[in-house]
Amino acid sequence: MIDVGALARRDTFARDLGIEFVEASLGRAVTRVTVTDRHLNFNGVCHGGLTFTLADAAFGYACNSQGVVSGSINAHMIYSMAARVGDVLTATAVEISRSSKASNYWIDVVRADGAMMAAMTGTALISGKPVTV
């Protein structure tokens, strides 16, 4: 398994949004963010784009953890409830299937009280190139 933390450290966009890498194992990764004022949409709740990016980051770390460059080609997101300023959101990506060409991940996003706020299913194409960290 590659050093996923090193991968996360050069994930400029996610880091800039305050998304932290928490931990990873083979085919699994966890990210976290605390919702602040800068993450709000025009209705005053957390923008879906932040929740998506949190889940997408966990997905990206998990599907590249095997050491072969993998890129998302499909992501399906469901939102169960709104998140608000101060909410701590944790995304956990787990691999649900894998072939030589593609892999599928389930990523759930939960609040600190355990409520599932959102969930993503992601599909990544697997290239033949090694991940360099």
The 62-101 site mask, x for binding a second copy (CB under 8 A), equals --x----x-xxxxxxxxxxxx-------------xx-x-x
Output DSSP code: residue 80: -
Kindly indicate which of the ranges 23-31, 86-94, 104-112 contains the residues binding a second copy, using the contact rule CB under 8 A: 104-112
Residue 108, CA distances (Å) to 21, 65, 100, 111, 121 in order: 15, 18, 25, 10, 9
From the CB of 123, what's the least distance to a second copy, in Å? 5
From the CB of 67, what's the least distance to a second copy, in Å? 13
From the CB of 97, what's the least distance to a second copy, in Å? 4
Spatial neighbors of 111 by CB under 8 A, at least 6 apart, are: 83, 87, 88, 89, 117
Asked if 119 and 107 touch (Cβ cutoff 8 Å), the reply is: yes
The alpha carbon dihedral of 120, 83, 89, 41 has a sign of positive
- Total binding residues for a second copy by CB under 8 A? 52
Q: Which of 24, 30, 31, 52 binds a second copy (CB under 8 A)?
A: 52
Strands of the chain (E only): list them.
20-25, 28-34, 68-79, 88-98, 102-110, 116-130
Query: Footprint of a second copy on this chain (CB under 8 A)?
Result: 7-8, 10-14, 16-17, 37-43, 47-50, 52-53, 56-57, 60, 64, 69, 71-82, 96-97, 99, 101-102, 104, 106, 108, 116, 119, 121, 123, 125
